[in-house]
C-alpha cells in the first residue's frame, strides 16, 4: 500500500519541517493522537477492504470445492437435514480479534476478511464453525447453557485445526507435552466467557472443566482426531531423530578416540 494515499491532517500553513514530521507520523503511526490514529486506521482499512474482500471470496470458493474436511462436514450436515451452500458463508469486516463466527439459528457463517494468515487458517475457521452447526443440528445445543456451549467449543477447537502446533508457536504458546489439550481448553474458556449467559471467567472455566474429558474424546462426525494423529506421528519422528543423533555422535566419538 502506498502510504501517500492516506490523508494526514491539514498541513498547508505549517513550516516544511512540521509538514514532513506530520507526514512521517501519519505513515508510521508514531506520535499521533488517539483521534488521528483512529482516523488513520479507518482510512487504511477502507483502502484495503476491496482487495481483502476479493481474496476472502476466492479462498472461500476454492475451499468449498477442494478442502477434504470442509466437503466432509458439508456432506454430514446435509445428511442431518442442514444443507449449507456458499450463500451461507459471508465475507465481511470484523473486529481485529475475530476470524469468524456462526449464527446457529440461521446457519450463516461470518468470515472476517483480512484476518486470515493463510488459506489453511480460513479452512480451519470454516471447519470450526461447521462443527458448531453440526452440534446444533445433531444435539440441539442450548447456547445459553454454558456446559452445552463449552462442549461444542472443545470439539470445534479440538477437531478443526485451530490448535495446530505451528499456529500455537505463532501465538507464543508452545510445549512438547499436551500443548494441543492446553490450547483446546484455553480457547474453549475464552469463547464461553464471551457468552452473554456467562457471569465471569470462573464460570467459563468450570463449565469447560466439567465437560472437557468426554467432549474432547467425541470426534463425531470424524472417525478420529486427525490433529492428534499428526502430533503423535511428529512425536515419534522426533524421538527417532533424537536416538539417531545420539548414535551418530557416539560413532564420531569412537572414531575420534581411535
Residue from 78, 91, 85 nearest 64 by CA: 85
Separate counts of helices (H) and strands (E) for the chain: 9, 3
Other Cβ atoms within 10 Å of 206 Cβ, number: 15
Both ends of the chain: CA-CA distance in Å? 63
Q: Quick check: is 153 catalytic?
A: no
Identified catalytic residue from 14, 78, 87, 129: 129
Q: Which residues contact 129 (CB under 8 A, 6 or more apart)?
A: 100, 101, 102, 109, 156
Cell 478420529 belongs to residue: 224
Contact of 187 with 153, CB cutoff 8 Å: yes
Alpha-carbon gap, residue 84 to 47, rounded angstroms = 32
Q: Using only the alpha carbons of the chain, give its radius of gyration.
A: 24
* Beta partners for residue 103, in sequence order: 108
Alpha-carbon gap, residue 46 to 189, rounded angstroms = 33
Active site residues: 129
Amino acid at each position: 500500500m502506498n502510504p501517500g494515499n492516506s490523508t494526514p491532517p491539514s498541513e498547508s500553513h505549517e513550516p516544511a519541517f512540521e509538514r514532513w514530521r506530520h507526514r512521517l507520523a501519519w505513515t508510521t503511526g508514531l506520535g499521533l493522537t488517539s483521534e488521528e490514529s483512529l482516523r488513520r486506521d479507518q482510512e487504511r482499512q477502507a483502502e484495503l477492504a476491496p482487495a481483502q474482500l476479493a481474496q476472502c471470496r476466492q479462498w472461500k470458493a476454492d475451499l468449498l470445492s477442494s478442502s477434504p474436511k470442509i466437503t466432509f462436514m458439508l456432506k454430514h450436515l446435509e445428511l442431518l437435514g442442514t444443507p449449507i451452500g456458499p450463500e451461507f458463508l459471508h465475507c465481511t469486516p470484523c473486529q481485529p480479534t475475530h476470524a469468524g463466527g456462526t449464527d446457529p439459528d440461521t446457519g450463516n457463517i461470518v468470515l472476517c476478511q483480512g484476518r486470515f494468515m493463510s488459506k489453511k487458517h480460513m479452512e480451519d475457521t470454516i471447519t470450526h464453525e461447521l462443527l458448531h452447526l453440526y452440534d446444533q443440528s445433531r444435539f440441539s445445543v442450548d447456547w445459553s447453557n454454558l456446559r452445552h456451549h463449552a462442549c461444542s467449543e472443545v470439539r470445534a477447537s479440538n477437531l478443526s485445526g485451530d490448535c495446530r502446533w505451528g499456529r500455537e508457536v505463532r501465538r507464543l504458546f508452545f510445549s512438547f507435552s499436551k500443548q494441543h489439550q492446553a490450547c483446546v481448553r484455553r480457547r474453549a474458556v475464552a469463547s464461553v466467557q464471551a457468552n452473554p449467559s456467562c457471569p465471569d471467567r470462573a464460570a467459563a472455566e468450570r463449565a469447560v472443566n466439567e465437560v472437557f474429558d468426554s467432549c474432547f474424546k467425541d470426534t463425531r462426525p470424524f472417525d478420529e482426531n486427525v490433529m492428534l494423529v499428526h502430533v503423535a506421528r511428529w512425536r515419534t519422528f522426533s524421538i527417532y531423530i533424537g536416538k539417531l543423533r545420539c548414535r551418530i555422535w557416539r560413532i564420531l566419538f569412537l572414531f575420534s578416540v581411535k
